[in-house]
């Protein structure tokens, strides 16, 4: 054991068998990883308000349920993304308090309902087909202790719909924008506001959308300077980044 | 000569040397292209109001001047695209009436000033860097006999600038939108209007704009249904298509 | 409520509590979106002859039927694209007048049979496999009040088939050309005619057609100047753009 | 009817109602396509030895059978590519002489067994997984009247296997090489021989083979000058081109 | 004029010619853009601490100098990115207080030295070749009123160099990570910290780095959840987003 | 037969019918491949410790079993990769000693348990989803006579997990690193060690991972000089290369 | 020396020191390459009518001249492709009979003027910008002993120009078609004729032509079955393949 | 200082102010990086035989000279890659023993001439244009203490040239293969040998070689199992990996 070997050094020093200088010298030659354990508690301390997260996709219902229950025992919130109803059924037998957010395909267990975010996160979607990704962002942000509002179906081809939502948008401390097809919405939203905008390209679209590539490139080339981008369909990542920003 | 060989068939029929049936049978076996001449005059008739066009890029100043002078002799308007000042200098010695549009990099000779377009063509650009492409569209549309207005620097990150130009936009019978970077402007313009929008992706941008690819994909995936697209930086093509539409 | 806050300004003016100049000044500072509702009726007025459109793909039969019925109540034509037979069965129970165009995979309800298009739209397809996309364009154009003709299976490898259809082509005010594989047909058609050509790349092809990418690039690089392009397989978009042009 | 209208012109000339000159002038203004029929017989004459070909993929068994029977009535050979066993079952009820080549997924009816090719076509495959594509090339070349030999499983990682087949290779007048993965075989074969090599990239491979793209690029960049390339998995095209060459 | 037409409405109300309700109704039907001017002053108010920014690339030295001087007259900080020494020479004649940051290729004029950022922004670079991009981020963040620290040349192939900088990293409220080649550094930094990480792919690399594409894809696929990405080489964008976050 | 024709030459020389010079001259003109058989035995001799390998994917259970049994009769180890349980069931009826490694999807028959590798091969995986690829590498390396250790789930976003495994890593003579998503792990591992690192990109990831392309590009651009790369998901190739290195 | 060691074997047999069987056995174990020299003369014999070819690009004028002179001494024709005028100047000092084909950028020395081709090769180009590539094909085919005709500037947007050349086309035994932009011409030409068509994509075009990629994909997806393709701008390769076919 | 703070802990323990357990607990909470220094000396020890390497490209002659001199003072070999003659001139003034390898564009200083490699490294190139990359690999391998042989210009289109070099190849403990165009050579070499093959794609080629992409994909898809790949044109990387393998 690592702690053990370090302890032996201190013992030797105390018993005068080793000078402090020699002890430092020896420590210097101990394999790096023997001290790797050192940060564990700090990490624990830093975790307050961070959910435990499971990527359910590709796991059996039973596996998800087992991991979910184990993580739930930590007392923090638990989030399983890209989860099926069948996986939820298995989870709920172990954790009756877990709820299933169908649109977001997420299983959520909220054991810690404190607010860690200082302001509002507003999640915007361009079309109705982008809503599953947007809802994954919503679920993530809520489970991380944020007040979340959403504005859906405000794509740029009907700019008046977006403008009609400016009141909601202006309440945001951070904005998440989910859009497929040409991925233009983050630029327009970014231009209207002075807060950070997290853009999520979605794989929604046909033909030359190339499974979200068109939207991704569009967002990376946004002419609005306050936009940064996460991976295609990565609602979870957007919700996570936005939550981090919102607790600053 | 083709007409000649056909005429000989008719002569033979008239002189009773060939029955009509035999003549048809022979005609059947004449090479296809012998009758290809038939449409030439019609084509000429259809050309009224169409400029003669030279792609100057890759040609010597002298070559451009020579072709330009020859085309000018037809009496129609002449347009040379992607032309340098040096090429213009050579042209102007032969055709003093030719003018150089520096921003558009176009040499224009207007000999026919009739209006063929029935309404306004409005050319929109997202940024100031897109203006050369937009100006090429303007020059093309004007040389084809259209009233042209333009609205520049109204990118989607400052949507109020675009909205402030709705009066001009609403006067358009056809709209051309030039945009680089994310190529989002055609979708927004398309959503505001009920006329055909010709989108021109420009190679303006950095990094992941990939020389106009991001804008191109964005425009092809436009969520506005009234948008069609031409090649990257193809201001000429957009001006040409818009002119065709405007004379319908 | 937005209207409410504006109304209070007018009230204050009427009661002499505010001069008109002050009221204008205040209005100037009201959030933009308070007036966002303003356009709704105008939009309605502009819609004559425009169908209500549903993208059926990805929706349940019931969802499609419900939306369809609601839109049908507006009295305009209704179009559902990429619809299955099962979705049609659900629709027809609510709207017995709706018909299913199997090749186009479209559900069509024609309540307004006026002609809005001034001339013919001709829809051309390169091969028989491109016909579903072509038929979607046909359905769209018809539902938007156009006379539509079609010329199918006239790919460029048998150029005589295309030439044999010149009579039909020459009647067109706008042409739509659907082609997969090398996407060469729009260039040839564009070269034969002097009207706008809307090119639709289709995902028809094998190997290096890369799901329509080869055709798309081919069309964007067309050497005919009267060609503009919509997204891969986007028959609806082509029909829509052509209809807009045809009512100019 | 086209021939009819032309015949009327000749009749009018014979009856002195029209001078030959006037007849030529009228012919000049007849729509181009009225004479398009002229080549039909020539085409027929040129077809000797060319099979009628059906792309079976995407058609119902019944459709394939019907078209197959109709084409068989011309007396030429008939080939259906990418055909299933079920489609064959339907065909064989109408054309009992048709055979199914399972590896090639081709239905073949040989009614004309003359040899049109002057020499041997040798079909080479890199791996056993490339054999279906190679067999499609074999079937095509045989049905077009060629003597065909094949050399399979001689990929470049075991160059001795290829060298052991030099006797067969050296008998070839044209060679077809099918290879997936890195697509290197055509270069090696091309370097060994002095006859035209038709390279067929196959979609065989994993990961970065990108469905045949790696093989395609490899073949296009072949350092052997006698290699030309057809589309990915296009065994039919290779067999067709090779047959054309072999009858020169 | 827009304000004028609104003013007439108020006048009519004051003179009793229009009820407030009617006035609201009319306003409802006024074109949207008539009120588009409204937000200008608010925008001004929101700008405190935001620099005026010029993209110098592609502009003449004189143009840059002119725009720079005009923006400087607003009293805010001014930043010109991708600027050459020659452009700086022209600027400094007009604005002697402007300084040139050679590594960042930026011209900076700091007229407002207040701190708007609440914490530290730490800018990290993987290699020395990434430093120009990193310095552009530093210049942007400083000009927007932030305390900035930097940690350079800590690429993942020498992980101990990065670990040795944990003290600096742990002082960050926001981190910017610039990396070319495989773009792996943001994932490692993201895993060490619990603050938002803005990743900037750089075009540094050879061969299959494809001008930054490899790094871009790497960062978008980061296995650390706190990473979002801006465009290739977009140090300005990263500095801007980080500054927005840091003033929350 | 080849040997036969060469033997006849020698006979003729012995019988004085041919001078040695003439025999050499004739040999010179014999087709190359007549001597191609020569190396067979050498190859056999070189094979010691090399398994016979079957790519089971795309073969029927029966085909796999048959080939497996035939290869097993050589007395060497046999490996079937990408094999299903059903294929294993068929194999085990013929070769009861064969075992199925479910995670690796590999069927393994070890008849030769000698160690050919001189040191340890350590197989590292970034995430749990990369384990199937890693296990294929493990199975391959073991079947080729190596001592294999593995370190799983040590992705770069939790660098302490990797550092905690330095003891294991430092025992490696060759390291295989399997990673999807951004593919950063080989660079970090490569930087920690001074032995060859074989990187295997996996198709694990979402959106812009593009089926392993992001990881592949990342690894090719590794800033660690001791990294070379095999194809996406090619655990077998990595195990094979590592085994070759380990027996040097 | 290889021949030497083989000769020793024969000597030993003659002198009775070795039985023929033992000699064969030893031969079996000689390294493969000892007999590799055997084919040299045959190769020489096969070369009649094949030019010696130098890729001049990237070589100094002096290097080109030196290699050129050495190859010229073989008495065959010599061809240097992608050669500059300066390189020609150096060559002509050594080989006064060499001529420079400026359009083709080729240096040609014809020492053997026999005709090896049995029929005509016709080289077709779509636009005037494709002529350099076409001329490289012409130069190659001529230097390999073919009668060559050409038809230039017959792009598909003016299909009548192509049809007007059917007489020339129909005289071809092999056709080469060079086209940039959408690369549609080979399909149309292929459809008109029943001879092999070699398609050469050129890098002519703008924007989304992506340096010839659009044309390349178009040609690979040709709907005409008699088309095969060589690399972008590879006029030499096309001329070479066509020459091989024409001497069959 | 880090060592300092640790030393204080030991002092406190010696002086009885802290129990060993408390000291361990405190250590546990020290920031990780305080102990990061520990490995430095070990690293030094591990470096024997490893050159110091400078990427000269993008650095001034003076910078290269300065770094070179500083590294030379360590007594190890020094290698500068992608260096110009001008940079060499500057280096040689400081380090007269440095030599310039023009083909490899490398500056080499050999101060340690011991052999670290146990066998031969053979470097193979497909064409003469690939030699600069091959020579960079040679220089790297030599500077790292290996015996290096090379076999150049043995591309797969002339397979006999490669076979003629089998003697040299069979002496290799590791092989490096550099090839552009279709990148087929590593597969053929890999198939001939049973040692690790490091493949280096080069950017040599035209058109669809896409700057080495075709060769890269070809090598990744190699059908020979003993091939792994480094980045395009990365001769240094290949030499480095091969050297590591050769000292095992």
Question: Of the candidates B105, B85, B84, B93, which has an alpha carbon nearest to the alpha carbon of residue B65?
Answer: B93
pLDDT mean over D130-153: 96
* β-bridge mates for residue A183, sequence order: none
Cα–Cα distance for residue pair B155/B184, rounded to 1 Å: 8
pLDDT of residue G25: 66
Q: Which residues of A touch E216 (CB under 8 A)?
A: 220
**Chain A 45-84, CB below 8 Å of chain C: which residues?**
none
Nearest chain C Cα distance for residue B82, angstroms: 16
Q: Which of E3, E7, E13 faces C14 most closely, judged by CB atoms? A: E13
pLDDT mean over A39-58: 62
pLDDT mean over D160-188: 92
Joined together, the tokens standing for residue B145 give 């006999």
* Residue D141 binned pLDDT confidence (cut-offs 50, 70, 90): very high
- pTM equals 0.85
Cα–Cα distance for residue pair G173/G151, rounded to 1 Å: 15
Residue of G nearest to H159 (CA): G36
The secondary structure element, H or E, covering residue G55 is strand G52-55
* β-bridge mates for residue G53, sequence order: G79
Cβ <8 Å between A195 and E228? no
pLDDT of residue E25: 66
Q: Phi first, then psi: what are they for E125, rounded to 5°? A: -125, 145
pLDDT mean over F198-206: 94
For an interface test with E, the pick among F191, F217, F219, F220 (most E C-beta atoms closer than 10 Å) comes out as F217
Give B210's DSSP letter: G
Q: Which of D157, D220, D225 faces H223 most closely, judged by CB atoms? A: D157
Cα–Cα distance for residue pair B90/B68, rounded to 1 Å: 10
Q: Which of B7, B11, B24 faces D6 most closely, judged by CB atoms? A: B24
Q: Which are the contacts of H48, defined by CB distance < 8 A and separation ≥ 6? A: H116
pLDDT of residue A28: 54
pLDDT mean over G223-247: 96
- The shares of helix, strand and coil residues in chain B, as percent rounded to the nearest 5, are 50, 15, 35
* Residue H152 binned pLDDT confidence (cut-offs 50, 70, 90): very high
Q: How is chain C classified by DSSP, letter by letter? A: -HHHHHHHHHHHHHTTSS-HHHHHHHHHHS-GGGGGGGGHHHHHHHTTTPPEEEE-TTS-HHHHHHHHHHHHTTSS-EEEES--HHHHHHHHHH-TT-EEETTTTEEEE-S------SSEEEEEESSGGGHHHHHHHHHHHHHTT-EEEEE-S--GGGHHHHHTTHHHHHTEEEEEEEE-TT--HHHHHHHH-SS-EEEEE-S---GGGGGGHHHHHHHHT-SSTTEEE--TT-HHHHHHHHHHHHT-
Question: Of the candidates E126, E121, E130, which has an alpha carbon nearest to the alpha carbon of residue E197?
Answer: E121
Question: Of the candidates G163, G161, G233, which has an alpha carbon nearest to the alpha carbon of residue G199?
Answer: G233
pLDDT tops 90 at residue F1? no
Cα–Cα distance for residue pair A115/C155, rounded to 1 Å: 64
Cβ <8 Å between C166 and D32? yes
pLDDT tops 80 at residue A200? yes
Nearest chain H Cα distance for residue G156, angstroms: 23
pLDDT of residue H32: 38
The secondary structure element, H or E, covering residue F90 is helix F85-94
Residue of H nearest to A17 (CA): H14
Per-chain mean pLDDT for chain D: 87
ipTM: 0.82
- Say whether G73 sits in a helix, a strand or coil: coil
Read off the pLDDT of residues D192-245 as tens digits, 9 standing for 90 and up. 998 999 999 999 888 889 999 999 999 999 989 999 999 999 999 999 999 999
pLDDT tops 60 at residue E3? no
Q: How is C151-217 classified by DSSP, letter by letter? A: E-S--GGGHHHHHTTHHHHHTEEEEEEEE-TT--HHHHHHHH-SS-EEEEE-S---GGGGGGHHHHH
Residue of C245 and B24 predicted with greater confidence = C245
Under-50 pLDDT residues of chain B: 1-2, 29-47
* Residue F197 binned pLDDT confidence (cut-offs 50, 70, 90): very high
Cα–Cα distance for residue pair F12/F10, rounded to 1 Å: 5
pLDDT of residue C32: 37
Q: Which are the contacts of C136, defined by CB distance < 8 A and separation ≥ 6? A: C81, C104, C105, C106, C235, C236, C239
Residue of G36 and D100 predicted with greater confidence = D100
With 0-12 / 13-18 / 19 or more C-beta atoms within 10 angstroms meaning exposed / middle / buried, residue A232 is buried
Cβ <8 Å between F33 and D167? yes
- Say whether B164 sits in a helix, a strand or coil: coil
Task: Tell me if there are at least 3 CB pairs under 8 Å linking chains C and H.
Answer: no
Q: Which of H129, H166, H208 faces G32 most closely, judged by CB atoms? A: H166
Cβ <8 Å between E166 and H32? yes
Give D218's DSSP letter: H
Q: Which residues of A touch F164 (CB under 8 A)?
A: 33, 36-37
pLDDT of residue D5: 65
Cβ <8 Å between C127 and G223? yes
Q: CA torsion sign, F43 to F44 to F48 to F50?
A: positive
pLDDT tops 70 at residue E157? yes
Q: Which are the contacts of A77, defined by CB distance < 8 A and separation ≥ 6? A: A51, A52, A108, A109, A110, A111, A112, A143, A144
Read off the pLDDT of residues A176-194 as tens digits, 9 standing for 90 and up. 999 999 899 999 999 999 8
Which of these ranges, A146-160, G232-246, H2-16, H155-169, has the smallest mean pLDDT? H2-16
Residue of B nearest to C172 (CA): B248
Given a contact cutoff of 8 angstroms between Cβ atoms, the answer to whether D243 and D123 are in contact is: no
pLDDT of residue A85: 96
Provide, rounded to the nearest whole percent, the portion of chain D with pLDDT above 70.
88
Question: Of the candidates F172, F224, F174, F220, which has an alpha carbon nearest to the alpha carbon of residue F200?
Answer: F220
Cα–Cα distance for residue pair H136/H143, rounded to 1 Å: 11
Mode of pairing for the β-strands spanning F227-229 and F197-201: parallel
Beta strand residue intervals within chain A, DSSP E: 52-55, 78-81, 99-101, 106-109, 120-125, 147-151, 172-179, 197-201, 227-229
Which of these ranges, E48-52, F220-224, G39-43, has the smallest mean pLDDT? G39-43
Residue C157 contacts D, CB cutoff 8 Å: no
Nearest chain A Cα distance for residue H173, angstroms: 33
The secondary structure element, H or E, covering residue G13 is helix G2-14
Side-chain-side CA neighbours of residue G163 (13 Å): 22
Q: Which are the contacts of D166, defined by CB distance < 8 A and separation ≥ 6? A: D192, F31, F32, F33
Cβ <8 Å between G39 and F24? no
Cβ <8 Å between B217 and A219? no
Joined together, the tokens standing for residue D114 give 């003359």
pLDDT tops 90 at residue H74? no
CB count within 10 Å of CB E167 equals: 13
pLDDT of residue G100: 97
Read off the pLDDT of residues G64-113 as tens digits, 9 standing for 90 and up. 999 999 999 888 899 999 999 999 999 999 999 999 999 999 999 999 99
Q: How is chain H classified by DSSP, letter by letter? A: -HHHHHHHHHHHHHTTSS-HHHHHHHHHHS-GGGGGGGGHHHHHHHTTTPPEEEE-TTS-HHHHHHHHHHHHTTSS-EEEES--HHHHHHHHHH-TT-EEETTTTEEEE-S------SSEEEEEESSGGGHHHHHHHHHHHHHTT-EEEEE-S--GGGHHHHHTTHHHHHTEEEEEEEE-TT--HHHHHHHH-SS-EEEEE-S---GGGGGGHHHHHHHHT-SSTTEEE--TT-HHHHHHHHHHHHT-
pLDDT of residue H4: 64
Joined together, the tokens standing for residue F70 give 């035939």
Range ranked top by mean pLDDT from A9-23, F37-51, G215-229: G215-229
Joined together, the tokens standing for residue D222 give 């072949």
Q: Which are the contacts of A60, defined by CB distance < 8 A and separation ≥ 6? A: none
Given a contact cutoff of 8 angstroms between Cβ atoms, the answer to whether F193 and F174 are in contact is: no
* Residue A21 binned pLDDT confidence (cut-offs 50, 70, 90): confident
pLDDT mean over C99-125: 95
Cα–Cα distance for residue pair F183/F223, rounded to 1 Å: 12
């Amino acid at each position: 054991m690592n702690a053990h070997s370090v302890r032996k050094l201190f013992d030797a020093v105390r018993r005068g068998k080793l000078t402090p200088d020699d002890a430092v010298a020896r420590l210097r030659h101990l394999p790096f990883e023997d001290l790797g354990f050192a940060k564990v508690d700090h990490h624990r301390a830093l975790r307050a308000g961070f959910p435990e997260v499971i990527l359910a996709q590709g796991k059996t219902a039973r596996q998800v349920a087992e991991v979910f229950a184990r993580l739930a025992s930590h007392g923090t919130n638990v989030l399983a993304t890209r989860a099926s109803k069948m996986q939820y059924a298995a989870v709920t037998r172990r954790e009756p308090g877990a709820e299933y957010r169908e649109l977001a395909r997420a299983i959520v267990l909220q054991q810690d309902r404190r607010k860690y975010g200082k302001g509002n996160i507003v999640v915007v979607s361009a079309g109705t087909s982008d809503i599953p990704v947007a809802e994954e962002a919503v679920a993530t942000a809520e489970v991380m202790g944020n007040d979340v509002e959403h504005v859906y179906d405000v794509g740029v081809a009907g700019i008046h719909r977006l403008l009609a939502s400016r009141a909601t948008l202006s309440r945001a401390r951070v904005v998440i924008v989910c859009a497929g097809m040409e991925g233009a919405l983050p630029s327009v939203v970014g231009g209207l506001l002075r807060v950070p905008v997290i853009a999520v390209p979605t794989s929604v679209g046909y033909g030359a959308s190339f499974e979200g590539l068109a939207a991704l490139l569009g967002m990376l080339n946004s002419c609005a300077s306050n936009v940064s981008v996460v991976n295609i369909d990565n609602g979870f990542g957007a919700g996570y980044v936005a939550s981090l920003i919102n607790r600053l």
